[in-house]
Chains A and B, each alone.
Chain A
Amino acid sequence: MAPDDRIREVAEALDRVASALRELERAGDGIPAVERNVRRMEGTLWVLRAHFEPPAGTKTP
């Protein structure tokens, strides 16, 4: 797989994880155990986005 395809594939997978986390946050609304753990997972996700989204040319919030 060409490096650019690889970058895009990773960036798109990250997007899906971000959506899944938002869904989890909604489902666990008001439950600290869910909300705070989602926050931590978003931290890890942020790092991966910092790596892969700029080279993929996708938008980072």
Chain B
Amino acid sequence: MPYPETEYWNPITETLDPDRLREIQLAKFRRVLAWVYERSPMYRRKYDEAGLRPEDVRTWDDLAKVPLVTKDDYRCQGTDPFPYGDTLCVPLEEVTEYHQTSGTTGTPVYQPDTWADWEWFSELWATILWAQGYRPTDRVFFPFGYHVFIAFWTAHYGAERLGCEVVPGGVLGTRERLLKMRELKTNAFMATPTYVLGMAETARKDLGADPREWGIRRITCAGEPGASVPTTKKRMQDAWGCPVYDHVGATEVGAWGFECRHQPGGQHVIESMFLVELLELDSDRPVTRPGVPGRIVITAFDRRAQPCVRFDTKDVSMWAADGCECGRTWRILEGGVHGRVDHITKVKGVLFSPVTVEEVVRSFEELDGEFEIFVEKRGDLDHITLKVELPDGLAPPDRDGLLKELASRLRWKTQLNFDIQPQPYGSLPRYQVKARRFHDLRKEGGA
């Protein structure tokens, strides 16, 4: 295997002295701040309104002067130069790629990229995949049609960039994808956690095969936080008999974090290419202490067509106290992304995160791991319902015991009582991307 001894894609930037890294980050931040101010009417308006000039930012303390950007700021899109409008930083003729967000939380964001951006994005993926042990001898399968969504396109080109042989598996159904993987002896693949589990289930049930015998050596997840939820990760690793790694990215941001092959219980931030800040959940004050949850705010230093500067992702995480065996000096977000700020909500006065429910449900071997949560008002009180699928043919005493144990573990983990509604196997929605298992009907107007 080429480079077996080389842990890092770029040994220089991945092990930089932290003080030096901070200096470089500040220099890169100032550069991209000037770039967007000069070129994007959206950023210029925002900064002018705040009375900020790029040259006002000289030290880390000055960062707080720079207004945050949210998805709402991209609403100015749809005008000239069509369709990016005031967010575009380069002449339209330099744009070579179009992608968009899925729009699950509102209007989709249009994301242009230049060819240099495209190279940059796949470079990020090469960094990630190398850290997860991918090497030029690997044959990697992508069980997705990539469509207008950026993640698997860039992962595809990242794998190709580091020298893997890439097999695209779009259009096919799950069964045909599995047969193709077996036929070609692919030894790695990338998918959402839900689909990783779904594929293993199809292999066992429809093909009568044990996917652990297929020689898959590693799996990388994208699209949902599951691979950082310990019980979901364990389920996937048990099903395929290999390590499963997480990654984190967003269309507007780039692929900005990853779990290395040492699985440190969190995700390294690619700090040479991004600035990740954590801000308090209910204010804009920075969180620097490990173990304290904060909103993730990101700046992409080297994207050109439409970089994000202090983009409020509304995702929540916390800094880890410890480093990692791999020797990277890039900091770690413990537990990866814990969920959305707007999903971490008060139910009956208790702070509640749907990820905790996922962790509990997936700790039961007997359950298939599918679930849906509904929070609603009944009178003055919050009512929380959990739908789970039970296996077929479960004897009534076993079923009652299982439900009782589930309720008890949920109460222990969340301090809340759940109204558990068992569902027949296979009746809950299956997702390939962007699973939507949490429904706060108090916010969704009862819809």
Q: A residues engaging B (CB < 8 A)?
A: 3, 6-7, 39-40, 42-44, 46-47, 50-52, 54-55, 60
Instruction: Given A6-B12, A46-B302, A60-B31, answer yes or no on A51-B272 (Cβ-Cβ < 8 Å).
Output: yes
B299 to chain A, nearest CB (A): 14
A54→B24 contact, CB < 8 A: yes
> Quick one: which of B88-121 are within 8 Å of A by CB?
114-116, 118-120
B116→A51 contact, CB < 8 A: no
The distance in angstroms between the C-alpha atoms of A57 and B47, with both chains bound, is 28
A50→B115 contact, CB < 8 A: no
- Pick from B116, B273, B304 the residue with the most CB of A within 10 Å: B116
The distance in angstroms between the C-alpha atoms of A60 and B116, with both chains bound, is 14
Please name all residues of chain A whose beta carbon is closer than 8 Å to the beta carbon of B304 when the two chains form the complex. 46
Residue in A39, A44, A51 whose beta carbon sits within 8 Å of that of B10 in the complex: A51
> Quick one: which of B1-55 are within 8 Å of A by CB?
10, 12-13, 16, 20, 24, 27-28, 31
Tell whether B123 is near chain A: CB-to-CB under 8 Å. Answer: yes
B62 to chain A, nearest CB (A): 19
B119→A51 contact, CB < 8 A: no
B115→A39 contact, CB < 8 A: yes
A-B CB contact pairs (8 Å), 16 listed: A42-B116, A43-B114, A43-B115, A43-B119, A46-B119, A46-B302, A47-B119, A47-B120, A47-B123, A47-B302, A50-B120, A52-B12, A54-B28, A54-B272, A55-B16, A55-B20
Q: B residues engaging A (CB < 8 A)?
A: 10, 12-13, 16, 20, 24, 27-28, 31, 114-116, 118-120, 123, 272-273, 301-302, 304
A46 to chain B, nearest CB (A): 4
Please name all residues of chain B whose beta carbon is closer than 8 Å to the beta carbon of A3 when the two chains form the complex. 12
Instruction: Given A46-B302, A51-B10, answer yes or no on A40-B16 (Cβ-Cβ < 8 Å).
Output: no
The distance in angstroms between the C-alpha atoms of A55 and B273, with both chains bound, is 12
The distance in angstroms between the C-alpha atoms of A50 and B119, with both chains bound, is 11
The distance in angstroms between the C-alpha atoms of A21 and B123, with both chains bound, is 21
Please name all residues of chain A whose beta carbon is closer than 8 Å to the beta carbon of B12 when the two chains form the complex. 3, 6-7, 51-52, 55
Please name all residues of chain A whose beta carbon is closer than 8 Å to the beta carbon of B24 when the two chains form the complex. 54-55
